[in-house]
Amino acid sequence: MVSMISQLAQGFVLTAEVFALTLIFAMPLGMIIAFGRMSKNVILRTFVKAYISIMRGTPLMLQILVVYFGPFYVFDIKMGTGYRFPAVIIAFVINYAAYFAEIYRAGIESIPLGQYEAAEVLGYSKSQTFFKIILPQVIKRVLPPVTNETITLVKDTSLAFTISLAEMFTVAKQIGAAQTSIMPLMAAGVFYYVFNLLVATVMEFIEKKLSYYR
């Protein structure tokens, strides 16, 4: 029992790493992609649109496999098992950035044109307008959908099992199979649940903090 918990805990550390790294990279990357999606340049815009469409239209599991095996099958480059973790992170980041990009775009487009015009007449530069006036309002508006994505991400981390990365779910399955017991999976479920509870609490706290204006 104790060893099961400690093994799961090790898996959990990896799960938490996948979660944290994905958020750290995907959230800002999503903003850049959102700008590409809204670009005046037709080629860039179309390219980004196609990218987002593919990322959202195919299973994340498949994307993980492609990122992991792609170098070998396409370029004949042998990557060791050390590539598992980076492959998972890359796949998660490019997938989640696409989702975040669409959320950001909706948020940015929901800000009334009048905010830009007021800022322009007051003499704000383009970047001042974005960072001082638009972005804070966008953050408030996108918080609920970003919370949803973040909770989905916690659960999605289990997809890393596809390439046998020993995150929590993979570990739980292995112990479960060895001991012919459902307990490890139940314990993993509790881990995920508590993790998400934590995420939801943090996001709720931020939402509260931003509720001083409408």
**Chain positions contacting another protein, by CB under 8 A:** 112, 114-115, 117-118, 120-125, 128, 132-133, 136-137, 140, 212-214
Nearer to another protein, 139 or 203 (CB): 139
Q: Which is nearer to another protein, 46 or 115 (CB)?
A: 115
Terminal CA-CA length for the chain:
50
* In contact, 103 and 146? CB cutoff 8 Å: yes
Supply the minimum distance, in Å, between the C-beta of residue 42 and another protein. 20
Task: State the sign of the Cα–Cα–Cα–Cα dihedral 207, 211, 212, 214.
Answer: positive
111 vs 199, which CB is nearer to another protein? 111
Distance in Å, CB of 138 to another protein, minimum = 10
Residue nearer to another protein on the CB measure, 28 or 136: 136
The token pair at 63 is 């994307």
Closest distance of CB 208 from another protein, Å: 15
Cβ-count burial of 180 within 10 angstroms (0-12 exposed, 13-18 middle, 19+ buried)? exposed
Cβ-contact 159, 60 below 8 angstroms = yes
Give the DSSP per-residue string, 19-38. Answer: HHHHHHHHHHHHHHHHHHHT
Closer CB to another protein, 21 or 135, in the complex: 135
Shortest Å, Cβ 108 to another protein: 15
The C-alpha angle 65, 69, 71, rounded to 5 degrees, equals 135
Closest separation in Å from C-beta 102 to another protein: 23
